[in-house]
Amino acid sequence: MKGLALNVVVALIIAVIGVFTFIMLITGNLQNAATTIYCNTYVKLVNLIPSVEGPTTPELCIFRTSIKRQDLEGTDNKIVSRKLLAYIISCWKDIENLRIESDYPCYELRLSGRIENVTEENVSRILIREDHCNSIENSDYNCGAKNQIIWDIEGNILSLNETIIADVINNKTVPSQIPVNIFMIPNLSSLVKKSELEKYLQEEIPGSICNNLSASPNMTCSYTSGVNIVGLNITNLTIKTSEYFSYNTDEILSYLEKTRKIYSPINTQRVLLIKYDYLRESVMVKG
């Protein structure tokens, strides 16, 4: 009887938690988090479907706005890059005109088939040559002072090791180097995809840096990881001073792309989303 009663109590607890979680998902604090996880996964799954048209973006992922669905025709690199840039600029102008202060999906682009590799560099080259960075900026490629184009296209790691990662973090950390050495960088031999590297930069590396620094009896370290900013608070207990350091994962990924350490072209994708990312204050190309 005691065993049966315990099982009933456990079942009731699980049921209550399930109902509570469901309510939170549809009306409460977990709604935004669940929507983000679901919709960020959607595009990657669609691009794996070997069909010409593919499914329509779920209503949940268009945030109840009138997202524009367009066919992105062509296979030539220059033509597709120019068309893609036009959609990016159009999205940016919409945000400026509407003065939107939240994430906003502008376009769902359907690609006709395999295209010649289109990269952020291709698009930025046209932006510099033909627009002179007047309509939108992209500091990743020396086009203005702001990073207003985020290239969130899945790609592959070509050539990477602990020394390269340590050097790029030191160069991208503000206000100064920590500094980071190769012994603070966890093994990355298992990493294959760009998305895996992004997670590694946001979680594994700051955790390893803090563990190494905190091993010293006169140092403590803690870190925070946001959408694209990793912050580290380092305290020297001997002289009782604390310093804050941070690096931008978007900048690091873009640098590694420019230096051919990773490669994330648009070539076999079936669908792209052009959206405004409010936290980054940038237009994101997601695929």
CB distance 135 to 93 below 8 Å? yes
What parts of the chain have a pLDDT lower than 70?
1-66
Task: Name residue 143's amino acid.
Answer: C
* Digit-coded pLDDT (tens) for 187-231: 999 999 999 999 999 999 999 999 999 999 999 999 999 989 999
**In the Cβ-directed half-sphere of 93, how many Cα atoms lie within 13 Å?**
8
**pTM of the full structure:** 0.76
CB distance 69 to 53 below 8 Å? no
Cα-to-chain-centroid distance, residue 142? 21
CB distance 109 to 153 below 8 Å? no
Contacts of 20 (CB under 8 A, 6+ apart): none
pLDDT at 98: 81
Helix axes 249-258, 162-172, angle to 10 degrees: 120
Taking phi over 0 as left and psi of -120 to 50 as alpha, with beta for the rest, 58 belongs to: beta
Between CA 208 and CA 13 the distance in angstroms is: 37
